[in-house]
């Protein structure tokens, strides 16, 4: 079930809100837990059992680790969690690698359906057991609260990745207020607008261009496709995060921001401090720092960065293009640590820094989207700067000019030009009649486009 679906907007969400606000406080978590299990099992009923197994197993692991803080107990717990994730997500990739290494087909592939959100909820539960082992939090004795932490439907499918220690106290007692509820509605509607009005629109044209044979498109059109996909993935994922944060606010939870206008970055280091913040901080806290971070010399720091971004790529998908995409970013981060970062800091013409960063990011998204060989061919085609043949017709329509231009403005430049307006977007106490009319207009347009059965893909459902 998508947030941007009619059944969620007009049936599921209103019913949950109705029951949530009429039941006594001590029943509110039960309502949310039941709603979350229904939400998750809507499309894949059998895999809700896998999630229940994961929670149950880690519930007892947490109790055991709190009583006996032994590294081998933690190791077993982590290996079982990663083993389950590895089987569903990486089994066929491992078979491919093994067969390639042997030069013949030694093992056969299996038809394995990837459970929705397994990467997200596995990382959440890992952060819980690791923090219990570290003594940073106490093991949760209430099974239902731990289940709600993992299964909570706003962030279950595509994040943000919420660490238990950040919402531990909110599970038992949280603040509900009219201001918080209205702010949650604002964030949800803005996120819905990002997804439906901008991401879905540019996605149609991005797919049209990037799915074409290269002889059909010019280098200029290839660049357009890559730029449109760059907008699509930002508004798709940040829109979903906004909706998740907004829903969390409505139910009294405070989730961390997951995006801070990453396309305004002046370096790749800055980009990863602004993009998918919950994933970046997870890898920093639970992998980079335990590996030694930057405390064991420059060479070890570079190795640690490459390992972290290799794992970042692998987390996103079980294919070589994702691994290459992660290593690609690891290369630029090491390069910036070596010398490029200092040059970028000294450069006073910041627009050049932003051009460099966006070139790296746009090329990276091409790798991310396509299989390895096709992605390399597409990138080479972009840099040939040949007119080529265009058999796609007039893709440069008024509609894509309007929504593409709107997307470029709203992914950071307009917020930078109007800082007071940007600040009001994150102000939980701000409310105006003009904004209420704007929200109603956005909601109306979203409904119109969804009713018309518009193109409605969602990128991060695959992860």
CA pseudo-torsion sign 287, 292, 297, 300? negative
- The reply to whether omega before 160 is within 30° of 0 (cis) is yes
Pick from 370, 17, 81: which is nearest to 209 by CA?
A: 370
Q: pLDDT, tens digit, for every residue of 191-242?
A: 999 999 999 999 988 998 999 888 888 888 899 999 999 999 999 999 999 9
Low-confidence winner among 85-89, 104-108, 323-327 (lowest mean pLDDT)? 104-108
Distance CA 13, CA 5 (A): 11
Per DSSP, the three-state class of 187 is: helix
pTM of the model: 0.91
Q: What is the pLDDT of residues 250-277, one digit of tens each?
A: 999 999 899 999 999 999 999 999 999 9
What pLDDT, in 10s, does the model give residues 12-22? Answer: 999 999 999 99
Quote the CA–CA distance of 94 and 214 in Å, as a whole number.
Answer: 31
Query: Does 316 qualify as catalytic in the annotation?
Result: yes
| pLDDT tens digits, one per residue of 45-54 | 888 999 999 9
According to the 3-state scheme, what is the secondary structure of 288-321? HCCCCCCCCCHHHHHHHHHHHHHHHHHHHCCCHH
Catalytic residue among 26, 68, 276, 316: 316
- Give tens-digit pLDDT for 409-461: 999 899 888 888 888 877 787 878 888 899 999 999 988 888 876 656 666 55
Minimum mean pLDDT range among 176-185, 189-198, 384-393, 447-456? 384-393
> Using CA of residue 414, residue 234, residue 5, residue 35, what is the dihedral sign?
negative
How much is the pLDDT for 64? 94
Asked if residue 395 has pLDDT above 70, the reply is no
Q: How far apart are CA 201 and CA 102, in angstroms?
A: 45
Asked if the model's pLDDT at residue 391 lies above 70, the reply is no
């Amino acid at each position: 079930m998508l947030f941007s679906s009619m059944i969620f907007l007009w049936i599921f969400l209103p019913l949950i809100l109705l029951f949530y606000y009429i039941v006594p406080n001590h029943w509110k978590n039960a309502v949310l837990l039941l709603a979350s299990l229904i939400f998750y099992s809507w499309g894949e009923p059998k895999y809700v059992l896998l999630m229940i197994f994961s929670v149950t197993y880690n519930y007892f692991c947490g109790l055991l680790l709190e009583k006996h803080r032994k590294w081998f107990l933690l190791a077993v717990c982590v290996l079982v969690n990663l083993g389950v994730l590895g089987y569903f997500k990486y089994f066929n990739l491992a078979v491919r690698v093994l067969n390639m290494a042997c030069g013949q087909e030694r093992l056969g592939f299996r038809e394995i359906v990837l459970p929705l959100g397994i990467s997200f909820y596995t990382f959440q539960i890992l952060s819980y057991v690791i923090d219990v082992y570290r003594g940073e939090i106490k093991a949760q004795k209430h099974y239902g609260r731990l289940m709600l932490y993992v299964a909570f439907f706003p962030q279950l499918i595509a994040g943000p990745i919420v660490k238990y220690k950040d919402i531990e106290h909110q599970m038992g007692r949280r603040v509900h207020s009219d201001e918080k509820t209205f702010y949650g509605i604002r964030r949800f509607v803005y996120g819905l607008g990002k997804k439906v009005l901008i991401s879905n629109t540019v996605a149609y044209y991005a797919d049209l261009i990037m799915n074409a044979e290269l002889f059909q498109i010019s280098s200029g059109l290839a660049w357009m496709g890559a730029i449109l996909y760059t907008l699509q993935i930002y508004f798709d994922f940040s829109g979903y995060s906004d909706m998740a944060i907004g829903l969390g606010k409505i139910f009294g939870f405070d989730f961390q921001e997951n995006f801070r206008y990453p396309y305004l970055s002046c370096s790749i280091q800055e980009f990863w401090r602004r993009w998918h913040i919950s994933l970046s901080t997870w890898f920093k806290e639970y992998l980079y720092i335990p590996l030694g971070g930057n405390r064991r010399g420059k060479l070890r720091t570079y190795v640690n960065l490459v390992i972290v971004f290799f794992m970042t790529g692998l987390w996103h998908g079980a294919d070589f293009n994702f691994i290459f995409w992660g290593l690609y970013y690891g290369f630029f981060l090491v390069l910036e640590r070596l010398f490029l970062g200092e040059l970028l800091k000294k450069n006073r013409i910041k627009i050049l820094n932003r051009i460099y960063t966006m070139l790296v990011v746009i090329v990276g998204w091409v790798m991310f989207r396509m299989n390895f060989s096709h992605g390399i061919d597409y990138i080479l085609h972009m840099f040939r700067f040949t007119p080529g043949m265009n058999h796609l017709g007039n893709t440069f329509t008024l509609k894509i000019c309007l929504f593409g231009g709107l997307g470029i403005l709203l992914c950071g430049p307009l917020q930078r030009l109007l800082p007071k307006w940007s600040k009001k977007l994150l102000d939980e106490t701000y409310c105006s009649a003009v904004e209420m009319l704007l929200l109603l207009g956005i909601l109306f347009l979203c409904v119109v486009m969804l009713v018309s059965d518009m193109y409605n893909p969602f990128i991060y459902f695959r992860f």
